[in-house]
Amino acid sequence: MSTVNMVKYYFYKGMVPKDQDRLRKLVALAYQTARDRKLCPKAVLIRSEIHDTTSINGIHQKDPLGPHVTLCYKDENQLLQDTHVASHGYVIGKDNLEGRKGKKTVWPSESELEAIPEIGYGHIPQN
């Protein structure tokens, strides 16, 4: 069964890109970053343009992982609880909004894996 997830996107006032192509690319990066992190957002705040700094242990410094866009996500429960998840959407470069690919394949093709027998689990609902 297929479902449609309607998502509202937000920018700080005055920060919406004037260029429609750039706007589309920022939105695409934000949603792809959410999906990569297994999030199902209902609201996304695109907090920044591309930059290469972050705060690590309270110290503002260059991000060792490279340039990124800072994003915040809220799923249905977080909308009700006024909480969010923050994330970075890493990109190829300061002038390129393409999402950066991982440096190594986490899940290679089946020919490179060795499977063990499947295991079935049963769950009893708790009332």
Residue 3 has pLDDT above 80, yes or no: no
User: 55-105, pLDDT tens digit by residue?
Assistant: 999 999 999 999 999 999 999 999 999 899 999 999 988 777 777 665 556
Dihedral, CA atoms, 45, 105, 2, 98, nearest 10 degrees? 40
Beta strands at 8-11 and 43-46: parallel, antiparallel or unpaired: parallel
Q: What is the pLDDT of residue 70?
A: 93
Q: Give, in order, the Cα–Cα distances in Å from 35 to each of 32, 56, 93, 97.
A: 5, 24, 21, 17
Q: Are 48 and 26 in contact (CB under 8 A)?
A: no
Rounded CA-CA distance 84/67 in Å is: 22
Residue 74 is predicted with a pLDDT of: 94
At 30, which helix (H) or strand (E)? helix 20-36
**112 pLDDT more than 80:** no
Contact 127, 121 (CB under 8 A): no
The DSSP 8-state label assigned to residue 14 in this structure reads T
- Contact status, residue 91 vs residue 65, Cβ threshold 8 Å: no
| Confidence (pLDDT) at 4 | 80
Kindly report the pTM of this predicted structure.
0.74
Confidence of residue 118 (pLDDT cuts 50, 70, 90): low
